[in-house]
């Protein structure tokens, strides 16, 4: 399996995830570099659409689990003080 890439935080507070031909080759080690590049080009649009769809679900879930839950706890702490 491909090594996971750590999300890169840009100054605009965007989260960017990138894959390269090397990630495809990690999944299909018998493919050449050119085959991997061609495969990435072939699936690029589909990957983008699917990642946006899944990414929105993941973002919403994590915002709820991590941020909203934390902020809810902070508000409860402030009210009890």
At residue 69, the pLDDT reads 85
* Residue owning tokens 């983008």: 48
Which single residue is written with the structure tokens 């589909």? 46
Question: Comparing C-alpha atoms, which of 46, 42, 43, 20 is closest to residue 33?
Answer: 20
Structure tokens at 79: 């009210």
Predicted pLDDT of residue 25: 97
pLDDT at residue number 81: 57
2-53 residue pLDDT tens: 555 556 655 567 778 889 999 999 999 999 999 999 999 999 989 989 998 9
Structure confidence at residue 26 (pLDDT)? 97
Number of Cβ within 10 Å of residue 41's Cβ equals 10
CB-CB contact of 41 with 55 (8 Å) = no
């Amino acid at each position: 399996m491909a090594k996971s890439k750590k999300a890169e935080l840009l100054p605009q507070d965007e989260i960017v995830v990138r894959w390269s031909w090397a990630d495809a080759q990690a999944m299909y080690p018998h493919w050449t570099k050119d085959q991997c590049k061609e495969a990435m080009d072939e699936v690029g649009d589909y990957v983008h659409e699917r990642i946006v769809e899944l990414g929105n679900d993941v973002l919403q879930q994590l915002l709820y689990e991590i941020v909203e839950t934390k902020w809810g706890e902070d508000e409860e702490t402030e009210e009890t003080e």
